[in-house]
Structure 1
Amino acid sequence: MASSEIYRYLSIEGKKIGLDPEGFLVDMGDWSPAVAEALAAEEERILTEDHWEVIEVLRDFYSRYEMAPAMRPLVKSVGLALGAEKGKSLHLMRLFPDSPAKVGARLAGLPKPANCL
């Protein structure tokens, strides 16, 4: 599923992965945990177990609704899946500063959420 033009490539395990101008995957089928790690490394971010839990929630949300969640649905989904303590904006902001929905979706290999700038 191609979402836009290729702006640059990320090389993972000998494969060239196309990225759009904002660093989102051009083809969601190219996603793998290694791709997520490489995207995170570009931002000098190390993915912890807490990051992976949220990435899993994001990918599950996409598989159900065929869209990446904006912030409010993300907070609600994380709360339902991982408990009230993790389902808070502050927790998500610590994990994915700037824009949890946008950064999280990018690392999860999903399209940019519709309401994110």
Structure 2
Amino acid sequence: MAYEVNGKTIEADEEGFLVNINDWNEELAGLVAKDEGIDMSPEHWEVVNFLREYYAEYQIAPAVRVLTKAIAKKMGPDKGNNKYLYELFPYGPGKQACKIAGLPKPTGCV
């Protein structure tokens, strides 16, 4: 599988996760989100950017439970809960948000 952005082909695995996370950019994120049926809002970007920062620091994509706790710590309990995150990313905040953020599939995701 591959994505086309500005005439450039960006490789992804069979599930749509980027092969090389350095290929990521916001345009590509928008394209992946569209494929996932998500219309990116500032709230979506907030989670995507949080994930990218988390990955840069820890070199791992967090599982949902870890993601929820980390977001609650940084952005407060209104955003750091499953209900809020699943409203943004109905197919799973860990898996779907990581895919849009250009990160590898989180460990423990099916």
CA-to-partner distance for each residue in 1:36-93, whole Å, 9 max, x for gaps? 0000111221100000000111111111110000011100111122111000110000
Deviating above 2 A after TM superposition, structure 1's stretches of 4 or more consecutive aligned residues are none
SS in 2 for 1:16: strand
**Corresponding residue to 1:76 among 69, 72, 76:** 69
- Is 2:50 the counterpart of 1:57? yes
CA-to-partner distance for each residue in 1:88-107, whole Å, 9 max, x for gaps? 11000000012110001000
**Runs of 5+ consecutive residues of structure 2 not aligned to the other structure:** none
- Superposition RMSD in Å: 0.8
Q: Aligned partners of 1:24, 1:53: CA distance in 2, in Å?
A: 20
TM-score (norm 1): 0.91
**Runs of 5+ consecutive residues of structure 1 not aligned to the other structure:** 1-7
Alignment length (residue pairs): 110
TM-score (norm 2): 0.96
Q: How does 1:1-117 map to 2 (within 5 A)?
A: 8-117=1-110
